[in-house]
Each structure stands twice: as structure tokens, then as C-alpha cells.
Amino acid sequence: MRVVRTVSELRDALRRARREDSTIGFVPTMGALHAGHEALMEQARRECDVVVLSIFVNPTQFNDPTDLERYPRTEEADVAAAERAGVDLVFAPFAQEMYPRGATIEVRLAGPLVDTLEGAHRGSDHFHGVTTVVAKLFNIVQPDVAYFGQKDAQQVLVVTALVRELNFPVRIQAVQTVREPDGLAMSSRNVHVQGRDRERALALKAGLDSAQATYDGGERDADAVIAASVAAMASYEVDPEYLAIVDRVTLEPLRTVEPGALVVVAAPVGPVRLIDNATIH
């Protein structure tokens, strides 16, 4: 396995793979790898000839400078995890490589995919940062398949729209959320959830489970299902920033709950803001 820092090094390293028409799988990350990332790398390894992992804490998608500063950086451990998972190349650029001085290009989507939910609470600039860096990474790596975690469901939809609208020859593969044994969704930010807050963090999964249970009990009115979910979270002393039931493709709010509806939730727990989602079945 090789670790490269520059665009030219990465392209040189992939030259043979392109010449041999090998399938290139790409796992874009911000590092601080956990079991969720390992699932992405392992699926890429099963499905592709060559696997590229990127590690880059993208400053343009953070609306809070403190959040950017506190984001965990564990490159040495990340590289070791990538090697164990069978990754062929790690692209770990410095900020100036991705955003050279004088860079002015920004890739922006419009509409509910970037304006609602996370976009409403973090600002749509968050997703403009995501789409800009993902577009750059897709141009740099030129993968056949890119792997993203379903935990960030809205991000998956945004990236899928980016690929569709800009005609990137990339297939987006969403991989099921990986959870801790107690149900907490894996996240790089979980390291900051300690003590009593770690127990309270289970509120998000409790809210999602309540939505499914309420639906299974025969309730179809979205507002009633949401109310039950919020009450379940309150038992953990957690109030959601949002808890919504939306169309799984458009993110439009639903008035009636039906199979395939997406339940999305975000909530602050101690010093950390957590997100999660589940599909009604």
C-alpha cells in the first residue's frame, strides 16, 4: 500500500490500473476511521480491482471553526486500518493541494436536497463544501465506484445528484450504517461523547425505533409518529434539532407514513451533534 500527498503522485500511481482497464473503487473520508469506514473499504475491496481511500478534513464543509478544530485527526492509525482492509492507495493531501492559493471554483447545488434538514441547520454552505470537494476528488481519482455510508443519508442523495447533473462516470454505492453493540451509529465524533452523554446518545436510535414501532402499531399519520419519537428521545433527556419523516429520494416531508419512508434525526448530545436515520419497513 502507498500513501501519496499530491494529485500528480496519485495519477501516476493509477496509470497502470487505467491502462489495464481495472475497476477503481474510491472511499472518500475525513479520517478518524472506525468500523463504518472499514465496511466501506471492505465492500470496495470485494467489488473492485484497485481501492483508493482519501483522508482529508475538508475545511469548506464546516460552518463552525471550533468543530473543524476539534475534528479528530488520527492519520497514523487510519493508514494502518486502510492497510488491514486491503486498500491499495491512500490519498492524504494537505489543504493547499486541494485548495491552491487563488482557487475560486465552488460547486453548488440548489433546492431541497441542500436547503432542508442538515442544510437548514448547518447552512447550505455545508453542502456546497461537500459538493466542491467531492467533485474535485472525483476528477482527481476518476473512480468507477464511490462508496458512502448511509448514516449520512442526505449527503448520499446530494452526491448522487452531483454525479447525475455533472455527468460524472461514477456509480455511487451507499453502504448500510454500522452501529455499536448498543445501537449508536458509528461516527468519528463519538470519541467526544463520554460518560452520561454516551448513554444519552442512544436517544437517536430510540427515536428511530419508536417511529418503526408506532408505525407497526397501525399509526400512519406522520405528525403522530414524530410525536412518539420525540417523546422516546425525551426519556433520554435529549431534544432533537429536527426529527422528520421524508421521501427517501426528494427529502420532501411526508404527511402519511408508508414503507420506504426515511426517518431522519439530528440532536446535540453534550458537546457533540449527532445524526442518524432509518427506513420504515
CA distance 94 to 99: 9
Which of the following is catalytic: 37, 121, 192, 281?
A: 37
Q: What are the backbone angles phi and psi of residue 46, rounded to the nearest 5°?
A: -70, -35
Strand locations in the chain (E) = 2-4, 24-29, 50-55, 89-91, 145-149, 171-175, 242-246, 262-269, 272-279
| Pairing mode, strands 242-246 and 24-29 | unpaired
207 annotated among ligand-binding-site residues: no
* Catalytic (active site) residue 37: yes
34 annotated among ligand-binding-site residues: yes
178 annotated among ligand-binding-site residues: yes
98 annotated among ligand-binding-site residues: no
176 annotated among ligand-binding-site residues: no
Q: State the angle between helix axes of 124-141 and 7-19 in degrees (0 to 180), rounded to the nearest 10.
A: 50
149 annotated among ligand-binding-site residues: yes
44 annotated among ligand-binding-site residues: no
| Pairing mode, strands 242-246 and 262-269 | antiparallel
CA distance 190 to 207: 18
1 annotated among ligand-binding-site residues: no
155 annotated among ligand-binding-site residues: yes
CA distance 212 to 200: 20
108 annotated among ligand-binding-site residues: no
CA distance 231 to 243: 11
8 annotated among ligand-binding-site residues: no
Which residues are part of a known binding site?
Answer: 30-37, 61, 149-152, 155, 178, 186-189
Which residues are part of a known binding site for ATP?
Answer: 30-37, 149-152, 178, 186-189
Residues known to be catalytic: 37
Which residues are part of a known binding site for (R)-pantoate?
Answer: 61, 155
Which residues are part of a known binding site for beta-alanine?
Answer: 61
